[in-house]
Chain A
Amino acid sequence: MTAVSLVENIWTEVEKIPTRFGYGDGLVELGGTNPNVVVLGADLTSSLRVDRFRDTFPERFIQTGIAEQDMMNLAAGLSLVGKIPFVSTYGVFCTGRAWDQLRTTVAYGGLNVKVGSGHGGISVGPDGATHQALEDIAITRTIPGMTVIVPCDYHETVKVVRAAAEIDGPVVIRFGREKVPVITTPDTPFEVGKAQVFRDGSDVTIIACGVMVYESLKAARMLEDEGISARVLNCPTVKPMDIMTVVDSAQETGAVVTAEEHQVMGGFGSAVAEVLCRHAPVPVRTVGVQDVFGQSGSPEELMESYGLTAQAVAGAVRDVLEMKKR
């Protein structure tokens, strides 16, 4: 498979920007082109980077106070009168606390509500486990009709925001707090429901989303030195998954490793495994948080300690290749 072109030197001089900035900037751009777009915030306006939208389009920004359940249903009501609302708060709140509102009113009702799910993953850091969304992918992707997207960097997040407004139905966009490498360019193609080869290889496929895409690319580079040719798929759309690309890659390489900044149970890796066990049952290893809560610490410490690094991905690749040999 042909790899899409990325930023030229992602190893030594890569720029780092938080994906939440992509959410905020994407909304400002979208607000300029689509007058129906409204943004709701629950007292986390600057943190979610939607202060830029608020300052640019004050009449289309709705402050709800610290009331996420109300916010989700306000968005539902706004969508019912023709608005395209983007609910913006931390993932633990908009997908957790307001899950029933998201499931029953928004998704069951087939409503056009977008959920900007910030501070995804353990890299939230010192705020600790209460604020680290590690179950959000699992609990949103099981809702019928939901689209769930986890962009890998700043530019992809901008494109996801743009694309979400074009979908008639609920969309969850998951992004993070920390600065992460910018590996795509404004011109890198993006399509909802499509996975892309970010690096070609023939022995194993690493399928990743979010910040783990960069770690997977690093892992593939490390493995190259050991004579292992690893393909890296960027799979931002967790649901609906790009079944064809995932299955083709699994069949061509014969082994799969998934990588996500999320619990290994029920999340992205599970979604890939569901597809593979039906269409291409190759050996699979999943990299992610192993059924434990996070804790306070620096993002780097936490990523390292919870096994969300290139080294961990490379280790999983070695494991899965052992299985492939059997």
Chain B
Amino acid sequence: MEEKARQRLEAIALTIRRHIISMLAAAGSGHPGGSLSAVEILVSLYFEVMRHDPGNPAWEERDRFILSKGHACPVVYATLAEAGYFPVEELQTLRAFGSRLQGHPDRKKLPGLEASTGSLGQGLSIASGMALGFKMDGKSNRVYCLMGDGELDEGQIWEAAMTAAHYKLDNLCGIVDRNGLQIDGWTCDVKSLEPLADKWRAFGWNVIEVDGHNVCDLVRAFGRFRHSHFKPAVIIAHTVKGKGVKSMENEAGWHGKAPGPDLAAQILEELDGGERR
């Protein structure tokens, strides 16, 4: 990827981190950790990889993105707003009564959301159904599904993994936000996931491991997915929960807690400092 393109994506990522902090502070609740860890994934998809049109959210030829880890919706809302699906100002209504930005995604309310998610473990099956439908119709649309690593505790993920491999859904790309933390602590302490790549391989998937905060690596990984045939692909994106905000990085306590106004102001300053560097 060209240096200019990388800088563009990184600048957008920073803006989205700012949105996440300010919208969560306004809401007074929500999930910063797993939103911040997925920023570069979302930015790569919506600003480089996916075929989509913010002016026409119902465009039939669009690629689809399913947020299986529905609690990370702040990063999706911020990305959709930055992409132009709805006004950026609306981000401040997150979780408020009557808002289109529900605590977990409601596809009926907000343009750009493909599915209502939040009950973990369901997204990969939804994405598989879409991918299967596109295959049946001979269409070239691709489907991307972002899962949390803690979410992989859910058995349904592995049902879907078997189904997608069985039907050779090479138009389906799973992404695991491998930040290593879930509510009760490190994923290895809660329930061991490793050897994770081997598990996916054994289920019949192409596995691509990347630094989930490196937009160049991510975009390259999505390119490899597009060139893999007869198998679905999963990108295991190694990330840091709370990435970009020093006080939140690798802290399970910031899974589902919003920063207060003072801390939020401090974090925004910290992020601005990062921008100046």
Contacts and interface: CB of A to CB of B under 8 A. Distances in A.
Interface in B42-64: 64
Interface string A44-74: 0000000000000001101011010110111
A75 B127 CA distance: 10
Interface in B148-184: 155-156, 159-160, 162-163, 166
A79 B137 CA distance: 13
A69 B114 CA distance: 19
Grouping DSSP codes into helix (H, G, I), strand (E, B) and loop, the A interface class, with mixed when no group exceeds half, is: helix
Contact count band on B: 20 to 34
Nearest to B127: A77
B119 to A, nearest CB: 5
Given A70-B156, A105-B115, 15 more contacts: A38-B136, A62-B132, A64-B163, A65-B166, A67-B159, A69-B121, A73-B126, A76-B115, A77-B128, A77-B129, A80-B114, A81-B133, A100-B119, A104-B116, A104-B122
A105 B133 CA distance: 17
B134 interface: yes
B168 to A, nearest CB: 13
Nearest to B121: A69
Interface of A: 38, 59-60, 62, 64-65, 67, 69-70, 72-83, 85, 100-101, 104-105, 108-110
A70 B128 CA distance: 9
Interface string B84-108: 0000000000000000000000111
Contacts of B114: 80
Contacts of B122: 69, 73, 100-101, 104-105
Contacts of A101: 119, 122, 125, 156
B131 interface: yes
B126 A65 contact: no
Given A104-B116, A105-B117, A70 B133 contact: no
Nearest to B115: A109
B275 to A, nearest CB: 38
Contacts of B133: 77-78, 80-83
B106 A108 contact: yes
A64 B162 CA distance: 9
14 contacts: A38-B136, A65-B162, A67-B156, A67-B159, A67-B163, A70-B159, A70-B160, A73-B129, A77-B131, A78-B129, A81-B133, A82-B133, A105-B117, A109-B108
A220 to B, nearest CB: 44
B134 A74 contact: no
A237 B266 CA distance: 58
A108 B118 CA distance: 11
